[in-house]
Amino acid sequence: RLAGETDRRTRCGRRRGHRRGRRQQRRRPRRTIEGRVRLAEGADVISTVAQQLWCVAALLATTILAIATSRSRRSTAVVYGATFAISAIALAAALHALIAHSNATELMLPVGLPWLGSHFRLDALAAFFLAVVNLGGAAASLYGLGYGSHESTPQRVLPFFPAFLAGMNLVVLADDAFTYLLCWE
């Protein structure tokens, strides 16, 4: 050190942490990788983007179920009924996020490119489009319950319907270009 310089700590008398404590900071909830929001009281609540991703996972599981049971007579009612229930849950979660004016929630999953991962985000605009997509998905599922019972070969359409709805939900939730293009395809 030069002769005229003094240490900042000795000049101010205290460390930076003391000055930070004087300012009132708004504490944001901490997000963990599982998509849970840790509240100040210590309770865990699943975030809205994680709720939507669980609905997408359920739609993809319904796709696998449709492939496995496509030859069964009851598969049409089961797949369209499950798709209706999942779309209704996703619609309710999207409307809740839209009406409650909640802050944007983000989630990063460690899948995809090794240095990037997959980023998902739910804000007011995404919640609006999720409500539109899932309202259409629920209505199409109700229509499919009646129409699909008369279908002679349901395995042509049945597996693709829940996969299409899952893709539409993921496109709306995507927060980076890689995730968007992957979900689009």
The pTM is what?
0.72
87 found inside a domain: yes
35 found inside a domain: no
Give the burial class of 49: count Cβ atoms within 10 A of its Cβ; 0-12 exposed, 13-18 middle, 19 or more buried.
buried
17 found inside a domain: no
3 found inside a domain: no
pLDDT of 135 > 90? The answer is yes
20 found inside a domain: no
15 found inside a domain: no
SS3 string, 14-63, reads CCHHHHHHHCCCCCCCEECCCCEEECCCCCEEECHHHHHHHHHHHHHHHH
Which position has the higher pLDDT, 8 or 63? 63
Residue 164: pLDDT band (50, 70, 90) is very high
Average pLDDT value for the chain: 79
> What is the average per-residue pLDDT within 71-79?
85
pLDDT tens digits, one per residue of 91-128: 999 999 899 877 788 888 888 777 788 889 888 999 99
In this structure, the strands spanning 118-122 and 105-109 are: antiparallel
27 found inside a domain: no
Domain count, the chain: 1
Distances (CA, A) of 179 to 23, 96, 139, 174, 175: 38, 25, 27, 6, 7
Partners of 106 in beta bridges: 121
28 found inside a domain: no
Range of the domain at 121: 46-184
Within its chain, how far is the Cα of 99 from the centroid?
17
> What is the average per-residue pLDDT within 55-84?
91
Residue 129: pLDDT band (50, 70, 90) is very high
pLDDT of residue 12: 53
pLDDT tens digits, one per residue of 18-64: 555 555 555 544 444 445 544 444 434 578 888 899 999 999 999 99
Contact 97, 127 (CB under 8 A): yes
Contact 141, 87 (CB under 8 A): yes
Cβ atoms within 10 A of the Cβ of 102, count? 15
Which position has the higher pLDDT, 4 or 77? 77
CA distance 126 to 107: 14
pLDDT of residue 13: 53
